[in-house]
Amino acid sequence: MRVLLVEDDKGLAERIAASLRAENFVVDIAANGEDGAHLGSTEFYDAAILDLGLPKLDGISVLKAWRAEERTLPVLVLTARDGWSEKVAGFKAGADDYLTKPFKVEEVIMRLRALVRRANGHAATRLVCGALTFDAQIGTFERDGLPLKLTALEWRVLSCLMLRKEVIVERSELLERVYDGDADVDSNSLEVIIGRLRRKIGHDSIETSRGRGYRLTATPA
């Protein structure tokens, strides 16, 4: 899953990003509101973490701009402010959730996962597709009740497919969600990962839609 982090406190941004990457998220960082607004408007993200007190363009203005452009990505707002009026302003601008500094990074991760899950139409924390189960709250997979060992890239691909199970996920969308922006992506790397996943969860579980992408299914044709 790919996340945009808009935070001008460099130390805090690096701590949050490091924790998210350790949980297999792909993270882009913007240090000011103008850069954050641009990235959120032009790139695909599963969610955004947005500070309100930003240089160049404040977080409320960034959020209003995204919503005016009909960008529907879920947004978790971070702020040092604790006044009710600021919280109301954030929600009115289109925020989906809110955390006041200081906070534990673990809570950021849990809330972010919940936002992504709900944005994909899943209220339950455990998602099932055939023999495969995904605990979307803690990020673990099981097959037939047994833990599934995955590499970071395999986890990213499979979690994207699981959140969109029975729906074709475009190849370009998978590549954007899975790889860091500076990664040297081989043209066949996604196919290699899909092949490894098929060996782990069953070949018929992931269907190829030629010229489009892949679909995770419990009812192979």
What was the pLDDT predicted at 153?
Answer: 86
The SS3 of residue 54 is coil
What was the pLDDT predicted at 183?
Answer: 47
Q: Would you say residue 74 has pLDDT above 90?
A: yes
173 vs 59: which has the higher pLDDT: 59
Q: Is the dihedral of CA 169, 43, 91, 80 positive or negative?
A: positive
Fold agreement between 2-119 and 126-216? no
Domain boundaries, the chain: 2-119, 126-216
Residues constituting the chain: 221
CATH number corresponding to 126-216: 1.10.10.10
Q: Would you say residue 181 has pLDDT above 60?
A: no
| CA separation for the pair 78, 98 (Å, rounded) | 6
Pairing of strands 132-135, 140-143: antiparallel
155 within 8 A of 166, measured Cβ to Cβ: no
Average pLDDT over residues 142-170: 90
pTM of the model: 0.76
**What are the strands, taking DSSP E only, across the chain?**
2-6, 26-30, 47-51, 75-79, 97-100, 126-129, 132-135, 140-143, 146-147, 169-170, 206-209, 213-216
Q: Would you say residue 200 has pLDDT above 70?
A: yes
Closest to 93 measured CA to CA, from 67, 73, 131, 57:
67
pLDDT grade, residue 33 (50/70/90)?
very high
CB atoms within 10 A of CB 36: 30
Quote the tokens at residue 20: 């998210």
The SS3 of residue 4 is strand
Share of the chain above pLDDT 70, in %: 93
pLDDT digits (tens, 9 = 90+) for 96-155: 998 888 888 999 999 998 898 888 877 677 889 999 999 887 889 999 999 999 988 899
Q: Which amino acid is at 109?
A: I
Q: Round the average pLDDT of the chain to a whole number and report it.
A: 88
Q: For residue 124, what are the β-bridge partners?
A: none
Phi, psi angle pair for 6, to nearest 5° = -110, 100
Closest to 34 measured CA to CA, from 57, 3, 7:
57
Classify domain 2-119 by CATH architecture.
3-Layer(aba) Sandwich (3.40)
Phi, psi angle pair for 50, to nearest 5° = -130, 120
Quote the tokens at residue 208: 């190829």
